[in-house]
Structure 1
Amino acid sequence: MSESTLYPKIRTKLKEIIHDLQLIHEFASECPPPTKLMVTGTVKLHGTHADILIYPDNTIVLQSRNCLNLSITADNHEFAASMATKTAALLSLRDRYYERSKRLFPKVVIDEHAPLILAGEWIGQNIQKGVALVHLSKRFVIVSASLNGGWEPDLLYAGLESEADGIYNISRAGFYHAAIDLADPEATEQRLQGIAEEIAAECPFAKTFGVKGAGEGVVWKFDSFPHRERVWFKTKGGPFKPNYAPRPTKGPPSDKVLDEQSAQQKTAVDCAKAWCSEGRLEQAWDYLRETGKERNIKGLGLFLKWIVEDILVEERWDMEQLGVQPGLLKKAIADIAKPWYIGKSGIYAS
């Protein structure tokens, strides 16, 4: 895991993940290289990301996707306010993680300087919309745990939660298992997408509380190296399924031959239209709320910066495959995102 305690961004494109397997020592060192790898998945929840860092000296730090230190006065959907009353429960939960680690790995010594990171999702009423989770009271769900500076296999720490304190483990929704055929990623993606669509139709996590309704998808980790967050990936279903950029048509358009510059411009515009989805624009808008920035004309620059950087990171693989020029793409993104923001901030202000 990197030095930062912020939770890693999880990508969606399986071909990109398979390409990056070459950078994973455990995979690259195998001879001959495997043709198939198993992955284990957990339900992806649609809430707002939150982490609880618990140090051996009992210090507790709360953070979100973008903020390293949440507090009651600088909160994210009342997450810090809720956790402020649960110190005893959190310390007890940390001790249970330590105890299980000692049972599983008796020779491993707990690092006195590294926190236990309980990475999770803060879900429930008024956090998101369009999913079954909105019918639950606010609660924290652990989706990953880091001990001694490294992410642990989800299966090994299943069931560790504190239900009486509104802290749950994603394991209560079960685990999904699949084989990744490295030679046929398209067929694999279809199988994984089928699982994601089932979850999008009915959220297994919400169902454990007697609530039926839509879910989002699955987060997958390789069984052989679950601690390598670089190759974690997600599959989303239903309305959360990502928009993929259209592939350029082969040959010139029927009306006229575009010169190279015009063709590049068209590709950038087409990609911006695909990638500037309503969901991504809303994410950028929510980023300003989470970080305490004004959502008026003063926040426009930060809004555009976030969405451009998010697209450049998340869509890097397709950009390279399609030969998208970053400068042209940035302008095309701004041409879409700027009027959206101006309209949104005007409605918000009124």
Structure 2
Amino acid sequence: MSSSINRQNGEAGQNGNLFPKISGKHQDFLASLQKLKSEGKLPPILDLEGTTKLHGMHADIVYDLHEPLTDSAASKQPILFQSRNRICEPDENQQGWPRDVAQFPDALIYLQTRILARFAEKNPDKTVNRAFPLIVAGEWIGGRVQRDVGLAQLSNRFVILSIQINGLWQKDEDYGDIEAARAGIYSVFRAQQTKLKFDTSNITDANPALFEMQRLADTVELSCPFAAAFGVQNSRGEGVVWKPGVPSARADAKYWLKTKGPIFGKENRIDPAKIKADTARNLTIGDAATRWVTPRRVEQGFEYLNEMNVDPNRQTCIKEFINWVVNDVMVEEARDIAVFKTRFTGAEQTVKRKVGCLAKCAFLLKMRECGADLA
């Protein structure tokens, strides 16, 4: 395994190759579109490209391209495996990741070769800048990775979601047929991509395309199209990830949006009544903090502890859990927190304190339910 892949990005805990968060708030999405429009980068009618959002564990395969691909032993090729927050050893077993994929080095080299060949085919006027890694971003699904979804009925597998070359996320459909099924590596394009038209003269909450995006996410939650492609019918899915169909926005995840169904994403639903109520409602910071520390966010906090190999029975892990929840809120709810900062002195610290208190209570409750002794 090569260490050069992090030469520009710092050590593993601060790895700049880690996949960015995708906003689940349509208001953030509208603001990003408005920015692009002001820069003259949006057509009158914008294509939105939607792929099935998979409920599993985020995972990446990262190739160091500093040295050209050779015929040397595949096991010596500089390949890294990542989870959401850290670099993993190849023999680690997070519900099978990355151990189950790392044991197929020839397939991994085949995947790299196919992707770079496709890039050259689609971009004859461009070259690969080997100062940047090739990132194959995906989701590790199946088995016990997540509960109560159709994907749990499939065997463990890595599903390719996005590909980054030269530091830019590529057009998904250009690579949609590239897989290495022998190694359990599949494309999210086993489920059909969805495309919508968005009228950029109306970048507001009232744009009908937003409600169609929500409707389609609800449909996916009712029946996961990716699971259906493998014979698992009428099983629960999660939602859709949307990318604007212009290069500058497709290449940068800050312009993307994830929409979920009523079970997995009720707090961010694109619903006319909810939008009207939220606009009229004068929330306090305490009200907002209660809405933000959701059962799913608490669950994700424990998933983080597990990913980072932190023993939740260790007394000091409560601090790590609280820090994760607070940091996640500060990033995901930044738009609303900015509004509070214009209204109240010391709003940011108040948000952190209230969210931290709620996170602590949620942690202790979970530990009591599990019968843990933190004394």
What's the counterpart of residue 244 of structure 2? 222
Q: Deviations over 1:294-335 (max 9, x none)?
A: 213211111111111111111111233455722222222223
User: Structure 1-normalised TM-score?
Assistant: 0.88
- Tell me, yes or no, if the aligned pair for 1:64 and 1:76 is still in contact at 8 Å: no
Residues 1:61 and 2:80 aligned together: yes
Superposition deviation, residue 94 in structure 1: 0.7
What's the counterpart of residue 137 of structure 2? 119
User: Structure 2-normalised TM-score?
Assistant: 0.82
Q: Deviations over 1:104-159 (max 9, x none)?
A: 11232222333221100000011111110011111000000011221101011111
Q: Secondary structure at the match of 1:234?
A: strand
What's the counterpart of residue 204 of structure 1? 225
Cα distance change, pair 248–107 in 1 and its aligned pair in 2 (3 A): closer
Residues 1:247 and 2:256 aligned together: no
Pick aligned residue for 2:40 from 19, 30, 33: 30
Cα distance change, pair 333–79 in 1 and its aligned pair in 2 (3 A): same
Q: Secondary structure at the match of 2:306?
A: helix
Over aligned residue pairs, what C-alpha RMSD do you find? 2.3
What's the counterpart of residue 159 of structure 2? 141
- Tell me, yes or no, if the aligned pair for 2:64 and 2:78 is still in contact at 8 Å: yes
Residues 1:302 and 2:320 aligned together: yes
Which has the larger displacement, 5-14 or 107-116?
A: 107-116
Cα distance change, pair 315–22 in 1 and its aligned pair in 2 (3 A): same
What's the counterpart of residue 46 of structure 1? 55
What's the counterpart of residue 185 of structure 1? 205
What's the counterpart of residue 22 of structure 2? 10
What's the counterpart of residue 74 of structure 2? none
- Tell me, yes or no, if the aligned pair for 1:74 and 1:292 is still in contact at 8 Å: no
- Tell me, yes or no, if the aligned pair for 2:22 and 2:258 is still in contact at 8 Å: yes
Question: What does 1:80-99 align with in structure 2 at a 5 Å threshold?
Answer: 80-99=98-117
Structure 2 portions without partners, runs of 5+: 1-7, 10-15, 68-76, 269-273
Q: Secondary structure at the match of 2:126?
A: coil
Write the letter of the residue equivalent to 1:301.
K
CA distance in 1, matches of 2:131, 2:48: 31
Q: Deviations over 1:38-60 (max 9, x none)?
A: 21010000000000012344311
Superposition deviation, residue 185 in structure 1: 3.1
Write the letter of the residue equivalent to 1:54.
Y
Superposition deviation, residue 16 in structure 1: 1.7
- Tell me, yes or no, if the aligned pair for 2:323 and 2:356 is still in contact at 8 Å: no
CA distance in 1, matches of 2:261, 2:353: 30
Write the letter of the residue equivalent to 1:70.
C
What's the counterpart of residue 21 of structure 1? 33
Structure 1 portions without partners, runs of 5+: 251-262
Question: What does 1:143-292 align with in structure 2 at a 5 Å threshold?
Answer: 143-182=161-200, 183=202, 184-186=204-206, 187-212=208-233, 213-225=235-247, 226-244=250-268, 247=278, 267-292=284-309
Write the letter of the residue equivalent to 1:209.
F
CA distance in 2, matches of 1:13, 1:283: 18
Write the letter of the residue equivalent to 1:247.
D
CA distance in 2, matches of 1:72, 1:344: 31
Identity of aligned residues (%): 32
Q: Deviations over 1:188-231 (max 9, x none)?
A: 32111000000000000000110120000000111012112210
Write the letter of the residue equivalent to 1:176.
T
The aligned length equals: 331
